[in-house]
Amino acid sequence: MNWSASFVLFGALQGVLIAILFFTNRKSLSVSSTWLSIICLSISLTLVDAYFYLSELYRSFPYLIGAAFPLSLVFCPMLYGYIRYMLDSKWQRRFLWHFFPALISIFLLLPFFMLPVEEKVFFAFVGIKEELISNWTLISGVIFVFLVSTIQGPLYFAFALRALKLHRKSLKSFYSSEQKVSLRWLYLILFAMMAIWLLSLAQILIGGLLDITDELFISVHLLLILMLYVLSYFAFQKRTVFNQITAYRASRPMEPMKMNTSELQQTEVKYQNSAIDKSLSLQLLETAQDFMGTHKPFLDSELSLTKLAERMEISSHHLSQAINQNLAQNFFDFVNQYRIQEAQKQLVTHCDKKIVDIAVDCGFNSKSAFYTAFKKFTDKTPGDYRRLNQ
């Protein structure tokens, strides 16, 4: 057994263990554990298929050749479904239509599964015979899987990017920390998915021409193993963030705010059936502004909508409405505006104090987040602002 086959088999076993870990942590991970378990199992089955190929076990079990083909049409929808769950926090039956191509592929692959053993082995380790090409019904399923998977990659990549963009806006309605709203780990997984798609496509189209088919094949499955570890690590690291949002949505769905010129009109429509009217909403905003100015809770880098509402002894939903409806702002910008105002004071009154120390003292947990927010609210860098006001 070569090293690549051993490594792939180890990755497959790890995938099963990680899937079990997700499933047994349903309470802490909520419904996302189901998505993650199925994704990891799909990756594990794909790795098992790779192990059978690399170790040439398919010569001993030729009837299994092609059994994993439909999985290539399941992985992208599953990853997209996981991201959509975090955005919507609920399961929608219509999402099952995303797996319809995989079901079609199983039906179309039946003639291929019934091929003689010798022809299937030849297909797996050499290529397609001319007589198979002439009888297209025998390989129609293989062609269907290739064409659909070729389309699925960029299509679901675009869908997922849009979902992540909306989800980040949703997080900004709940948190004030850039670290909390950062979804770099999901973008990492998404770009890894595209890398897997590109390498798989290259393996089929140019692998044989350049004699690098095996190298590309191994690279694809090493990326799948890496994705297993990234999913397991960050899913548990970020569970607190998403569980708090899930609890918030349980009593009232949280919709991401669209920040554009018609925001005030949008928020009026959004809150027209709210338990509090516009005048009470405005009073709550004034109370929140007074509280921010007096008690300076924004100095806490971990300040969230729930935490601020608890300190003010009001409903987090009503506080969110007061901010959104009257300022057309999300919670993230509402809090960071106060942090920047405090930073402006300190930049002028504490001339010898380092800018990064001021950022930390004002509630920012990173220098980059501070510079981004400062530029957004003042159109200047902290250094330029300090020089202009000395």
The string of pLDDT tens digits covering residues 314-347 is 988 889 889 988 888 899 999 999 999 999 999 9
Query: Quick one: average pLDDT of 88-103?
Result: 84
Contacts of 342 (CB under 8 A, 6+ apart): 296, 298, 299, 362, 363
Q: What are phi and psi of 261, to 5 degrees?
A: -70, -20
Question: In this predicted model, what pLDDT tens digit does every residue of 177-193 receive, in sequence order?
Answer: 876 666 777 788 888 88
Neighbours of 47 (CB within 10 A): 26
CATH number of 253-388: 1.10.10.60
List the chain domain ranges: 3-248, 253-388
Confidence of residue 36 (pLDDT cuts 50, 70, 90): confident
Checking if the pLDDT of 103 tops 60, the result is: yes
Residues 196 and 223 sit within 8 Å (Cβ to Cβ): yes
Spatial distance between the Cα atoms of 43 and 46, rounded to a whole number of angstroms:
5
Dihedral (CA of 359, 360, 363, 364) sign:
positive
pLDDT of residue 17: 92
Q: Does domain 3-248 have CATH number 1.10.760?
A: no
Average pLDDT, the chain: 83
pLDDT of residue 256: 38
Rg over CA atoms, the chain: 26
Checking if the pLDDT of 260 tops 60, the result is: no
The DSSP annotation for 114-163 comes to TS-HHHHHHHHHT---HHHHHSHHHHHHHHHHHHHHHHHHHHHHHHHHHH
Question: Helix H segments across 296-364?
Answer: 305-312, 316-327, 331-349, 355-361
